[in-house]
Homo-oligomer: A and B are copies of this chain.
Amino acid sequence: MTSSADGPAQRPSKRERTLAALVEAGLELFEQQGYEATTVAQIARAAGVTEMTFFRYFAAKEHLLLDDPYDPVLIAAIGAQPRSDPPFLRAARGIRAAWRALPEPETPVIRRRVRIAARTPALRGATWRSTGNTERAIVEQLVTDGAEPEVAGVAAASVLAALVAGLFAWAEHETQTLAEAIERALDVIDVAS
């Protein structure tokens, strides 16, 4: 019965199905009752699975909302900025350039996630912490290009904070595209343009 002409694409594996079920159940419940009021056990049950399984897919409750696959593109773009600019401007303009070159992602799910994060105080902090890898990568790139470590640290933290703030603002404005929101956020801090 698993003949070749059955379906066009491969049926998703069990792992993929469970993952999708957990994400969907989590977003639903977070939106309905709020992040803190929602229990991992509830999410698991709604996805037809046990609490233990949830933690096999996400190391922590908040990980259901946070992941960012953009790091490599960002740091490449920052490295491409002219070294005559100060580190802060290189970081800001590198991120801007990277985002211009990216296609608009499937925003609906992303917007749901960012909106929940933006509205949950505990998660705003978690969001910033989750940018830790990106921050380290940016610092490394800036230092490689000759910046002092402390200066690079300040520049990276500051630019990333602006980016996150722009994301939060975008999540609440249905009319804006992600690219527009990022541009606006970077305009705010890139005052010497």
Contact = CB atoms under 8 A, between A and B. Distances in A.
Contacts of A121: 129, 132
B166 A154 contact: yes
A188 B126 CA distance: 25
A121 B132 CA distance: 8
Contacts of A86: 188, 191
Interface residues of A, number: 37
B162 A157 contact: yes
A112 interface: no
Contacts of A154: 162, 165-166, 169, 184-185, 188-189
A111 interface: no
A59 B76 CA distance: 42
B153 A165 contact: yes
Contacts of A191: 86, 88-89, 191-192
B158 A165 contact: yes
A153 B168 contact: yes
Contact of A124 (B132, B155, B165, B169): B132
A104 B157 CA distance: 25
19 contacts: A86-B188, A88-B191, A89-B191, A121-B129, A124-B128, A125-B125, A125-B128, A125-B130, A150-B169, A154-B162, A154-B166, A154-B169, A154-B184, A154-B185, A155-B188, A155-B189, A157-B161, A157-B164, A161-B162
A-B residue pairs, 6 tightest by C-beta: A125-B129, A161-B161, A157-B165, A192-B192, A158-B162, A150-B169
